Structure 1
Amino acid sequence: MSNHNKLDHLFLLIQSLSKSEKINFKLYAGRIKRNKNAKFIKLFEIMSKIHCYNEKKILENTPISKIQLSNMKAHLYKQILISLRLQHTEENYDLQIREYLDFSKILYNKGLYIQSLKFLGKAKIIARCYESNTILLELVEFEKMIESQHITRSLYSRSGELSVESKELIERVQCHDALSSLSLELYGLYLKVGYVRNEKDKIFIETYFRTNLPKFDIEKLSFYEKLFLYQAQVWYHYIRQDFIMCYRSSCKWVELFQNHKKAKKIAPVSYLKGYHYLLDTLFYLNHYSKFTKVLEQFEKEVQNEKIILNGNTRILIFMYKYTNRINKHYMEGTFSEGVKKVIPPLLKDFNKIYNRLDSHYIMVLYYKIACLYFGSGDNKNTILYLLKIMENQEKNIRQDLQCFARLLHIIACYESGLDENMDKKIQSAYKFFIQMDDWYIVKKKIIHFFKNLGNVYPHQIKGQFKKLRERLLKYSDHPYEKRTFLYLDIISWLTSKIENKSVEMIIKEKFIKNHC
């Protein structure tokens, strides 16, 4: 895929437009007669038709010179955004508020203070309805400024009312800001390093959470304050690998939306994320019946379009639908079935939105696909997708996945017989673990196992697998070492080598024993 295609913002914006948005833009641009044959319209038409950004083709099919192209693209970009803003104002409450505030300021500048205050009043009604306290505070401050400079009302108490309202809003905004910042910081820490790796990590995250969690009365918190609180709790418990507490917080997160029906339309992205982390914790808790029930419920809501579809939600629905379908196959041990049923539609949909996915989502998806192929016995494709992760240059994104991709890569190379230069691969993985400060007992034992495997006689190999399994089982419930087993079912792989069965068969037998 062309890098230029990925970097051209105008092309990406046009590609993201729906059919109705394209029609609406043409109507908007065509409202002025002289625009009918305008160069920016010609540019829009050609860029709507091409499938990848091609500057040469654009210049050949438009009356635009190479010197003009940059300015013309900037103009078209701005006109599309204005068109989208006009089209979507009614369905976006924050755009409505901003529009009323703009009208209010225009009227104020003309000296029409009463009319200005009327639009401010309309904006405040919407802001209160949707608990938009930050915008509401801005509206109140503007109203205070009008009241302080001009005699607009007969009631003397109005200035006092505005002062009290302002103070209350400042307190709410501070609480909102503290909770949202805590949630964001914890999420950032998870994206960077994943789960806690040692006692130092544990103490740091617990201290950070306690220190930055503001005092609150749960009964007095607004919808968004509760949302940020539950999000912060989910990231906190998730990082600490406390999946029972994580399950409880993610349940509250989803229930919050189900108790505030209109919130699904206001903040659909947060609703989808809540669903995903609820499913994710059920997966790690291995609660299959509850997992399948929630997944079915999630897919039903998406299918019935109970969640607003836009660029953001489509990406999240794609990610959460496929990662959880893959997780279901992991739990069942039906890897081969997953490869046949999930991978083809996944890759088809992936190619449509690849340009809009960030590195985090792409790496998670590649790792999920790699593990699915590994479970099915397809080591060639496992290696292919692991290399995509290992070649990623963004070292501060998902260091955990980059580390475990290297570990699985060594195992897949061994399984596929591509064990030439194995010492070099092991050395490369070792250096990366050290660089990422992720060199702990389980990883050490696995790396040392492969490093010494070349010195073992063929008839002794099974015995070595048994010894490694016995050593690793001791750490399966270790507070920090167990994180390896969350990313990689190394015990099932070792059992498959000992019992001469496929990984798929081992996990499937385990699933049948526990759930049937």
Structure 2
Amino acid sequence: MPSKFSDTLFQLVHSLEKSEKRHFKLYIKRSSAKEELKIIQLFDVLDKLTEYDENLILKKMSGITKTQLANLKTHLYKQLLASLRLLKLADNIDLQLSEHLDEARILYNKGLKIQALRILERAKEMARANQKFNTLVQIISLEKKIETLHITRSTTDKTADLANEALEISSHIDRVTRLSNLALLLYRWYVLHGHSRNEEDEKEVNQFFKEYLPKDMNAVNGFYEKLYLYQSYCWYAFIRQDFLMYYRYSQKWIDLYDESPQMLAIETGHYIKGMHNLLNAHFDLRNFQKFEIALKKFEAFEKTEIAQAHDNFRTHTSIYINSAKLNQHLMRGTFKEGLVLIPEIEAKLNEYAVFVDRHRILVFRYKFASLYFGSGQYSRALDYLQEIINGSQDLRIDLQCYARLMHLMSHFELGNFELMESLTKSVYRYMSKMKNLTVVEEEIFRFLKVSFGLPRTALKTELEKLLQKIKHLEKNRHETRAFAYLDVISWIESKVQNKTMSEVIYEKYKKAKQRNY
């Protein structure tokens, strides 16, 4: 059976809301052509299917050959996009600007040059007001073409202004391009490698960052230039585990929307991603109160019309809020309460399967495993860890490594000592090969190698030694990766103090809250 979401048309049909389906039916029924009636039939068949199955479609649409089906699918896809374009036009600045450009080109081709210029002038005002400079380039390009080829009675001052305007926008777009490239490539580096593993990684990231920064940094201005600059600094800081810098630039990212509130409806996706990063920064710094304030703000935003206006916005707001809720339980130590959220989140991930990338699913599995590990349900933790280990090997080397380490520690907790010797060697070799061994991991492996079969009193002594060796590294930036992925310190303290890991972390959380009051 083919994958549920293997067909692009099937994906599109199943992404539609009721209002969008209703609009499509009304839009297409304006034509009574035989072919149009067939695509409605195809639409209805696809809408009722739970999985894409071409043989079943052919069976339900009797008299249609495989070749005809392919042609109908292409036609239906185009008509769906045309219907959606009409429906979404009033709510989307990009679509409105595109329509103005299309109208201006049509009028120009009809020889109505002055009318075309009037439409372009209105489009230019709209593009400037909404900082759509890429579209502005196209508008000015068409203006210049008309002014160059025809006598339009424009003043010489206007044509000079047009030339200067084109140069100014060209410089702006060059900076936006360089900064957006930098943000994108840094994010790609993180998705592939995770946090910097050593000084060699950090040197590589530093050099890369400096090379891509625009030379004319003093000229950086406007919403988009600042947005991509702050994003670049966010990823740069996050990769290097400079969580304070990460927090500062995440906050600057969100503050941009307070300075330009009209951009919230235009660049909603970037706002959602910014809130996700701000919450992650508070999580990494254990800013408990600020985390709670930001989460409430994000949950309030989720209920707004802007957040509900778009499939991507609804999906990613839901995903990031659920991720934040899991993080809240992880940093409070309320693991069992966090477990209650897992079935609902898994149901959401299945519902949003067509929209969710492999990287995001990988992160959720690791968080689920962490909650089960922290609550002492090690067998359930192993289920999720096994999915990571057997799954995407090309993403997040860091998660692959720490999933294996948590997998090893889960077997230790379960007393599966017959597996421990060979498993310890295997995980050590893997992490060494991936250059993911810091002093903390080395000490954990040393402890695990000597722990097999030790009596309880001797085991406690070894754990106390391990705690002394790594406790002072908790604030070391090059060693914090291990603590960010797996709270080893609290795990060891729970063993030494004869408490649950949940109790140890919750006590730290309460003390931190009291200090902040």
Matched, 1:364 2:363: yes
Q: In structure 1, which of residues 461, 466, 489 is the aligned counterpart of residue 464 of structure 2?
A: 466
How many residue pairs were aligned? 513
* Residues 32-431 of structure 1 mapped to structure 2, 5 A cutoff: 32-35=31-34, 38-63=37-62, 64-216=64-216, 221-340=221-340, 342-395=341-394, 397-431=395-429
TM-score (norm 2): 0.94
How far apart, in 1, do the equivalents of 2:109 and 2:326 lie?
Answer: 58
Q: Which runs of 5+ in 1 are unaligned?
A: none
How far apart, in 2, do the equivalents of 1:65 and 1:417 lie?
Answer: 61
Q: Any idea what SS the aligned residue of 1:95 has?
A: helix
How far apart, in 2, do the equivalents of 1:188 and 1:237 lie?
Answer: 14
The one-letter amino acid paired with 1:411 is M
C-alpha change, 1:394 and 1:141, in structure 2 (3 Å) is farther
The one-letter amino acid paired with 1:292 is E
Q: In structure 2, which of residues 501, 504, 508 is the aligned counterpart of residue 503 of structure 1?
A: 501
Q: Any idea what SS the aligned residue of 1:221 has?
A: coil
Q: Quick check: 2:282–2:290 contact (8 Å CA) kept in 1?
A: yes
Deviation at 1:419, TM superposition (A): 4.4
How far apart, in 1, do the equivalents of 2:44 and 2:51 lie?
Answer: 14
Deviation at 1:269, TM superposition (A): 1.0
How far apart, in 2, do the equivalents of 1:419 and 1:289 lie?
Answer: 42
How far apart, in 1, do the equivalents of 2:29 and 2:437 lie?
Answer: 62
Deviation at 1:74, TM superposition (A): 2.1
Deviation at 1:281, TM superposition (A): 1.0
C-alpha change, 1:40 and 1:289, in structure 2 (3 Å) is same
Q: Quick check: 2:29–2:36 contact (8 Å CA) kept in 1?
A: no
Q: Quick check: 2:312–2:355 contact (8 Å CA) kept in 1?
A: no
Post-superposition CA distance 1:286-319 (Å, at most 9, x none): 1111111111121122124453431211221122
Q: Quick check: 2:440–2:470 contact (8 Å CA) kept in 1?
A: yes
The one-letter amino acid paired with 1:401 is L
Post-superposition CA distance 1:355-396 (Å, at most 9, x none): 32101111111111111111111112211111121122342x
Post-superposition CA distance 1:196-254 (Å, at most 9, x none): 22112222222222332224566861111111111111111111211122211111111
Q: Which moved more, 1:482-491 or 1:306-315?
A: 306-315
How far apart, in 1, do the equivalents of 2:508 and 2:157 lie?
Answer: 72
How far apart, in 2, do the equivalents of 1:233 and 1:47 lie?
Answer: 45
Q: Any idea what SS the aligned residue of 1:296 has?
A: helix
Deviation at 1:418, TM superposition (A): 4.0
C-alpha change, 1:401 and 1:459, in structure 2 (3 Å) is same
Deviation at 1:282, TM superposition (A): 1.0
The one-letter amino acid paired with 1:19 is K
Deviation at 1:434, TM superposition (A): 3.3
Q: Quick check: 1:30–1:36 contact (8 Å CA) kept in 2?
A: no
Deviation at 1:457, TM superposition (A): 4.5
Q: Quick check: 1:29–1:35 contact (8 Å CA) kept in 2?
A: no
The one-letter amino acid paired with 2:182 is L
Partner of 1:19: 18
How far apart, in 2, do the equivalents of 1:474 and 1:293 lie?
Answer: 31
TM-score (norm 1): 0.94
Post-superposition CA distance 1:321-361 (Å, at most 9, x none): 11111111122211111112x22321221221123210111
Q: Quick check: 2:105–2:116 contact (8 Å CA) kept in 1?
A: yes
How far apart, in 1, do the equivalents of 2:457 and 2:343 lie?
Answer: 41
Q: Quick check: 2:104–2:119 contact (8 Å CA) kept in 1?
A: yes
C-alpha change, 1:62 and 1:427, in structure 2 (3 Å) is farther
How far apart, in 2, do the equivalents of 1:58 and 1:3 lie?
Answer: 13
Partner of 2:473: 475
Partner of 1:437: 435
Q: Which moved more, 1:22-31 or 1:185-194?
A: 185-194
C-alpha change, 1:441 and 1:204, in structure 2 (3 Å) is same
How far apart, in 2, do the equivalents of 1:402 and 1:219 lie?
Answer: 42
Q: Which moved more, 1:200-209 or 1:216-225?
A: 216-225
Q: Which moved more, 1:372-381 or 1:114-123?
A: 114-123
Q: Quick check: 2:176–2:224 contact (8 Å CA) kept in 1?
A: yes
Post-superposition CA distance 1:156-210 (Å, at most 9, x none): 3332222111111111111111211121122112222122221122222222223
Deviation at 1:154, TM superposition (A): 4.4
Q: Which runs of 5+ in 2 are unaligned?
A: none
How far apart, in 1, do the equivalents of 2:464 and 2:382 lie?
Answer: 25
How far apart, in 2, do the equivalents of 1:469 and 1:309 lie?
Answer: 51
C-alpha change, 1:275 and 1:65, in structure 2 (3 Å) is same
Over the aligned positions, Cα root-mean-square deviation in angstroms equals 2.0
Deviation at 1:96, TM superposition (A): 1.2
How far apart, in 2, do the equivalents of 1:156 and 1:383 lie?
Answer: 74
Deviation at 1:417, TM superposition (A): 3.4
Q: Quick check: 1:333–1:505 contact (8 Å CA) kept in 2?
A: yes
How far apart, in 1, do the equivalents of 2:312 and 2:258 lie?
Answer: 20
How far apart, in 1, do the equivalents of 2:39 and 2:347 lie?
Answer: 32
Q: Which moved more, 1:431-440 or 1:329-338?
A: 431-440
C-alpha change, 1:484 and 1:154, in structure 2 (3 Å) is closer
